Amino acid sequence: MKNRTTVERKSERELVVTRTFNGPARIVFEAWTKPELLKRWWAPKSTGVSLLSCEADVRVGGRYRFEFGHEASKPMVFFGRYIEVTPHSRLVWTNDESDDGAVTTVTFDEKGGKTLLVMHELYPSKEALDGTIAGMEGGIPETFAQLDELLVTTQLAARTC
Amino acid sequence: MGVKAAGNAARARPPLACRQSVCYIQNYMVQYTRTGFDASFAALSDATRRGVLEQLGRADASITDLAEKFHMTLTGMKKHVGVLEQAGLVTTEKVGRVRTCKLGLSRLEEEAAWIERYRQLWDARFDELDNVVEELKRKVDGRKKRVSLPP
């Protein structure tokens, strides 16, 4: 049976994601901390976006860098630093690609062979979280951005014809 | 904050070209919502509907206004607005006898929609993570079995 993922805005500055896994914390933690495993689930196929590269030096002060995208020339890059690494129970990292990036804390809580995972994202301000949410604006801006791109390409194509 | 203001004041929205640049960075999650994306593209495939969006980018308008501007019947315009509404590109609100159209969703709807998309992203990731966990479990079990086998 599939476990449920929940997301809740706990406060003006916090988002919390929870999910239970049918395995011990040691294993779930491993899947979050070994780049070769992380790679296998961080960019699921159903999303249509691929992970171009994934580096994660999971130790206190270590850095990570994920690159997503459809083409290598224009990747979307996410990076930051691990500020707390407690094997099998807790991971904390920064999201440094933006000044409004959150600090992410993931805890792994094992009970009876299952692991409750809680991912807590603390944004620097209410405006930062509001901005992140508003930035998506129902998917419109990016759609328009892609539309703009498409229009530019078609115009260029029309001009060269 | 510019991005936030865009959500609050549909009336004061800058043209599309400006709006998209503000929000383009980092919004990778949008790509995770294929269905919404397809609906948006379908909605945008029509010149009249693109015109309506541009018009609403300048100012909110009633269906009657839009029908006049685009030399269409009310019924025809209603259909176009319906498609845009379905794609989440436009919201409408009826006050008295007038239905006003504006770009995008309300702040609360926007937040709920964003949270749901974010949930879907993590749900998809965690489904894959389930597979990794299962595989690692099997490996551990295999090792245990090997260890417990008699020499």
Domains: count for chain A: 1
Identify the domain containing residue A52 by its residue range. Answer: 6-124
pLDDT of B42 reads 81
Give dist(CA B17, CA B22) in Å, integer: 9
**Do the Cβ atoms of A42 and A59 come closer than 8 Å?**
no
Which CATH number belongs to the domain containing residue A117 in this structure? 3.30.530.20
**What residue spans define the domains of chain B?**
1-104, 105-151
**For residue A41, which of A74, A71, A5, A7 has the smallest C-alpha distance?**
A5
Q: Which residues of B touch A134 (CB under 8 A)?
A: 3-4, 6-7, 23, 107, 110
Of A46 and A145, more confident: A46
Is residue A30 in some structural domain? yes
Interchain CB contact of B88 with A (< 8 Å): yes
- B9 pLDDT higher than 90: no
Position B78 scores a pLDDT of: 96
The mean pLDDT value for B58-71 works out to 94
Q: Where are the alpha helices (DSSP H) in chain A?
A: 25-33, 35-42, 126-136, 140-160
Alpha carbon distance B68, B74 (integer Å)? 8
Question: Which residues of chain A lie closer than 8 angstroms to B56, CB-CB?
Answer: none
The complex's ipTM works out to 0.81
For the cut 50, the answer to whether the pLDDT of residue B16 exceeds it is: no
For the entire predicted model, the pTM comes to 0.61
What percent of chain B has pLDDT above 90?
Answer: 40
* Domain B1-104, CATH class in plain words: mainly alpha
Query: A37 in a domain, yes or no?
Result: yes
CA–CA separation, A110 vs B14, rounded Å? 50
Contact check, Cβ <8 Å, A131/B4: yes
Amino acid at residue number B144? K
For residue B127, is pLDDT > 70?
yes
Residue B33 has pLDDT above 50, yes or no: no
B26 contacts A98? CB cut-off 8 A: yes
Residue A42 placed within a domain: yes
Strand arrangement of the beta sheet that strand B98-103 belongs to: B61-62, B98-103, B90-95
User: Virtual CA dihedral for B32, A129, A15, B88, nearest 10 degrees?
Assistant: -40
Burial level of A59, CB count in 10 A (0-12/13-18/19+)? exposed
Tell me the chain A residues in contact with residue B39 when contact means C-beta distances shorter than 8 Å. none
Which residues, listed in sequence order, are joined to residue B62 by a DSSP beta bridge? B100
Report CB contact under 8 Å: A7, B119. Answer: yes
| Binary contact (A44, B40; C-beta < 8 A) | no
Q: Is residue A130 part of a domain?
A: no
B112 Cβ under 8 Å from any chain A Cβ: no
